[in-house]
Structure 1
Amino acid sequence: MISLDTAITAVTVYPDRARVTRSGKVEVPAGEHRIRVAPLPQDLLRDSIRVAGQGEVVVLGVDITTERQIAVTDEQVAALEERIRELEVAIGALGDSDRAADARIVFLDRLARRSAESLAAADSGRVSAFVDDLEAQYETVNTARRERDKLRQRHIREQQAVQRQLGDLRGKNRTDTEVAIITVEAAQAVTVDLDISYVVLGASWSSSYDLRLTDAGLTLRWFGLVEQRTGEDWPECRLQLSTARPAQALDVPELDPWFIGVEIPRPVMRSMVAGGASMDAVPVGYGAPAPAAAPPAMARKAAPIRESVAEVEHGVTAATYTPQRAVAVASDGTDHRTVITALDLEAELDHVTAPVQALEAVLRATARNTSEHTLPSGRAALFHESEFVGATHLDTWAPGEERELALGVDDRIRVERELVRRNASKATLGSARRIETEYAITVSNHTGRTANVTVLDRLPVARDAAITVRETTAKPQPAERGDLGILTWKLELEPQAQSTVTFGYRVEAGKGVVIDGLHD
């Protein structure tokens, strides 16, 4: 058996696993020999192991076996247990000595009381000698007690340390180690460079992004976050991030027949359903500060810092990214970030506000992915120049696809929504109940540039024939009217300008009809 020492030289990380390559050099005599490579991680997929390399040998086979290793010997455990017993005996002996000292103190107290009367008439020299002797005995007892207290504390600390050590050893039961046995045949003695690769679970990578809005446009930086708990640390080596999913798409999709039939009638349960239309929420972030003032002109402008990006190799169904520098990843689950690429996106900026929900305007970028990269879903941090303003989630973004991105609330666009009229009349004989409502929405542009603002509001939608809704006024006319009562205005505001949108509606209901869900 020839033992081969290997080191990790390359790792390809997939979204839910990794392929690890170990390399080593070994002297192989002439004939058939078995080469042992260990240890390997326990979670490796045995079917995935492959052997390659350079050298005049023939690989006859590769086997994965499990070797059981004893982490703790019985002698180690027995020695620690014996030491704990010795310390318990020593602590018990100190307790016995303390009880004997207590009895001696009681005896000295009684002796002092009994001798006090007989020594009352004695000469001073005899009394002084007795007192000195009694004090010496008290001092001897107390000194011995203090020494035993110190010794007891040392024994207790040692006992606790030994118990912790024993607990650690008992926790290290028999461990299993995966071992690769490579059988080779050589016509003559030769030096062989072997690469052994395998797929292991417990590793993954995900995407995160920085979206930075500047006067020059919208820049996206794509990062790969690598983490792993495979049981072996990855040193600085060639690291690749692949979007392939080895565990998926292994079968060609097929469909089963779709059968339909006659529905068996069932009792109908009536329930009261609250009326009122709903509107998708506009994503919001944090307040966006005004752009920083341009710095004074400099005689010579320093070149901006450049950042290395990964090399990309596009396959039929996946892409593989190779960072330009080696990356070390410890097996502790900690994220390790590496730059994949930086993109300048084509983007059109505008603002969107839905004042019925919030009196704020969200800065929106309608961007197109003009790169060759399919950007996986991930968390995106939003920046205006150098200021962090919030975070959002970015869904998978294909090349050429257009996407709306919420870049945070812009406090320089001020929005107000005011109820300017509301009349309600009660239903009388032969008449209907009528409620008329009118709102005014004022949008102000306090930025230093022209702002395009999309204003969203809504009319109530009747879900019962006994209730009718009519639009009574809309100034200016909405650019769009949705089937479910959503009204959309497109405003173009010059710097420091404002515009007001007014709209109203009438709700009518027959006598005895209670309108549910109507509110400001």
Structure 2
Amino acid sequence: MSLESLDAPITAVTVFPDRARITRRGTVTLPAGEHRVACGPLPLGLLRDSVRVSGHGPAAVAGVNVITRREAASDDAAVTALEAQLRELETRIGELLDADTVATARERFLARLAMRGAGNLAQGEVAAAARFADGLDEQLTALHRDRRSRELERTDLHRRRDAVERRLMDLRGSARPDRLLAEILLEVDSGGGEVELELTYLVPGASWISGYDLRLAGDRLALTWHGMITQRTGEDWPECQLRLSTARPAGALTVPELDPWFVDVFHPAPPQVYGMTVGGAPMAAAAMPAPAPGAAPMQAMAPKARAAVRETSAAVEEGPVAATYTPLKSVAVPADGTAHRTLIATFDLEAKLDHITAPVRAQEATLRATVRNTSGHTLPPGQAALFHEGDFVGSTRLEPWAPLEERELALGVDDRVRVERELVRRAASRATLGSTRRTDAEYKITIANHSPRPISVTVLDQLPVSRDAQIAVRELHAKPEPAERSDLGVLTWKLALPPGAGAEIQFGLRVESAKGVDIAGWRD
């Protein structure tokens, strides 16, 4: 069985939210018979169970195996020479260490010999003792001199060994690592011919997320939808057929089933003597910050303005639970983890504009757009940049947006709508015998429209809500009458203000409490 090589570059990529499907295509001409066709190298992290082969031509696919090909030892002459040099250096360093060991043993022997000879020579001739001492001095001096010489040589050898090891690391690092190959088994019909093969596989380390530009112009909201693609799969993607899918492939799918729901008499666990833990109440989730303040809407553009450049849109295929988008313009995505943007769609949505303010929290008016998704697309969640004409005013988070679903979008603070709230009166009476304590408060809210067009403003304020029967809250008056009152004390006014006009809202409340009851949570 012959082994052939298939040149199959990447021709298509489908990116899912957490992985990607790669398609490679190539053509090979084979005679009749059984053949093994190797395609690669492939990324080491691919999901082996996902590898599939199809194609066209006079052949049948008998199977496909994913194999790891180990690279043979390098026969590069430079590497071989450096390895031999490294062995020589290591050998010489070992010889010097052996010489030091021998010298240390000889020094110990001379020390013992000096102790024994000193006692014997103490009663002999002085000249003989002096000659013995001189001989010991010469030998010990020679030992120390040789040790210093070996230390210098060893330092030089270590330096040379480190240099050789660094050079070897550089040469070995440039060698190709182990490769992953797909080995396709083919049975070619009699006569042979040209066989076109398509190899597909899934790889982790790739993802895409949605990003949006929301641009308000008059009462139209232009929505531009981008796909942000990143990948660290180990192979670069060239400009090819790129598709973005909202599907989420899973390793194992099952139909949900319910187990029986049992209830029983509660039996407390026996007390623990050790291993006790101290519990605490869960913290409440922090509220999301409001959109950043921004510039007010711009005036309408001059009627002779040039037409804006056109943007392409992706083709869409809607499935039962997901959609796949094919951008008209392909992009190359290297495997370096950087984000690459491609356009998915752009469309205009009708926006109903008004202002909303809650001066008890912030004395400012936010421009609000009530928008219905008439695009026909189910928009995935993503970060959205907000623009008034050409001015960037902030960003917000878009949650999943279904077709025909209506959303409220905050488009930034409009500084041309002035809002003020003030406490104009507060009176408190002390409780007497058998009576209650009263606290009266009256507030005034003023709104002024300094924009050149009429606006609608929704004003929100609130009354305190009692959580104890000993405290009672009453609304004394409200002018004008609120359009809505909620069970939680929220008052809603809806005002229509012509250009340059203003409005005033006044309301009062009373809080009564029993004698000796202190009120918590009061604010002006």
TM-score range, shorter chain: 0.7 to 0.9
Query: How much has 1:169 moved relative to structure 2?
Result: 6.2
- Partner amino acid for 1:52? S
Q: What is the TM-score of this pair, normalised by structure 2?
A: 0.77
Relative to structure 1, the CA distance from residue 463 to residue 160 in structure 2 (aligned partners, 3 Å threshold; closer, same or farther) is farther
Query: SS at 2:235's partner residue?
Result: coil
- Partner amino acid for 2:484? E
Specify which of 332, 335, 352 is matched with residue 331 of structure 1. 335
CA distance in 2, matches of 1:81, 1:468: 95
Query: SS at 2:223's partner residue?
Result: strand
Are 1:228 and 2:231 counterparts?
yes
Query: How much has 1:427 moved relative to structure 2?
Result: 1.8
Specify which of 274, 277, 288 is matched with residue 295 of structure 2. 288
Post-superposition CA distance 1:279-328 (Å, at most 9, x none): 98894332223413643x54xx5332111111111112211111112211
CA contact (8 A) 1:31 1:188 kept: no
CA distance in 1, matches of 2:194, 2:454: 73
CA contact (8 A) 2:294 2:392 kept: no
Structure-to-structure mapping, 1:25-424, within 5 angstroms: 25-69=27-71, 76=79, 79=82, 175-186=177-188, 187-215=190-218, 217-247=220-250, 250-261=253-264, 283-292=290-299, 294-295=301-302, 298=304, 302-424=306-428
Query: SS at 1:3's partner residue?
Result: strand
Query: SS at 2:79's partner residue?
Result: helix
CA distance in 2, matches of 1:427, 1:81: 102
Relative to structure 1, the CA distance from residue 180 to residue 478 in structure 2 (aligned partners, 3 Å threshold; closer, same or farther) is same
Query: SS at 2:200's partner residue?
Result: strand
Query: SS at 2:240's partner residue?
Result: strand
CA contact (8 A) 1:285 1:407 kept: no
Match of 2:18 in 1: 16
Query: SS at 2:238's partner residue?
Result: strand
Q: Percent identity?
A: 58
- Partner amino acid for 2:426? R
CA distance in 2, matches of 1:303, 1:264: 76
**Structure 1: gaps (5+ residues):** 90-156, 267-272, 274-278
CA distance in 2, matches of 1:336, 1:80: 44
Q: Structure 1 stretch 61-70 or stretch 484-493: which is displaced more?
A: 61-70
Post-superposition CA distance 1:400-435 (Å, at most 9, x none): 111111111111111101010111122222221111
CA distance in 1, matches of 2:355, 2:75: 71
Relative to structure 1, the CA distance from residue 388 to residue 164 in structure 2 (aligned partners, 3 Å threshold; closer, same or farther) is farther
Specify which of 452, 467, 477 is matched with residue 463 of structure 1. 467
- Partner amino acid for 1:193? E
Relative to structure 1, the CA distance from residue 379 to residue 160 in structure 2 (aligned partners, 3 Å threshold; closer, same or farther) is farther
Relative to structure 1, the CA distance from residue 502 to residue 54 in structure 2 (aligned partners, 3 Å threshold; closer, same or farther) is same
**Structure 2: gaps (5+ residues):** 93-158, 270-280
Query: How much has 1:353 moved relative to structure 2?
Result: 0.6
CA contact (8 A) 1:70 1:174 kept: no
Are 1:436 and 2:440 counterparts?
yes
Query: SS at 1:285's partner residue?
Result: coil
CA distance in 2, matches of 1:280, 1:493: 32
Relative to structure 1, the CA distance from residue 417 to residue 164 in structure 2 (aligned partners, 3 Å threshold; closer, same or farther) is farther
CA distance in 2, matches of 1:390, 1:328: 30
Relative to structure 1, the CA distance from residue 85 to residue 262 in structure 2 (aligned partners, 3 Å threshold; closer, same or farther) is same
Post-superposition CA distance 1:207-257 (Å, at most 9, x none): 000000002511101001111110000000000011111118822222222
- Partner amino acid for 2:42? L
Query: How much has 1:67 moved relative to structure 2?
Result: 2.3
CA contact (8 A) 2:378 2:400 kept: yes
Relative to structure 1, the CA distance from residue 435 to residue 81 in structure 2 (aligned partners, 3 Å threshold; closer, same or farther) is farther
- Partner amino acid for 2:211? S
Query: How much has 1:68 moved relative to structure 2?
Result: 2.9
RMSD: 3.2
CA distance in 2, matches of 1:386, 1:71: 61
Query: SS at 1:69's partner residue?
Result: coil
CA contact (8 A) 1:70 1:173 kept: no
- Partner amino acid for 1:190? G
Query: How much has 1:84 moved relative to structure 2?
Result: 13
Query: SS at 2:312's partner residue?
Result: coil
Q: How many residues are paired up?
A: 440
CA distance in 2, matches of 1:366, 1:85: 81
Relative to structure 1, the CA distance from residue 398 to residue 265 in structure 2 (aligned partners, 3 Å threshold; closer, same or farther) is same
Relative to structure 1, the CA distance from residue 305 to residue 280 in structure 2 (aligned partners, 3 Å threshold; closer, same or farther) is same
Query: SS at 1:234's partner residue?
Result: coil
Match of 2:8 in 1: 6
Match of 1:136 in 2: none
CA distance in 1, matches of 2:332, 2:160: 39
Relative to structure 1, the CA distance from residue 169 to residue 396 in structure 2 (aligned partners, 3 Å threshold; closer, same or farther) is farther
CA distance in 1, matches of 2:252, 2:490: 42
Match of 2:505 in 1: 501
- Partner amino acid for 1:500? E
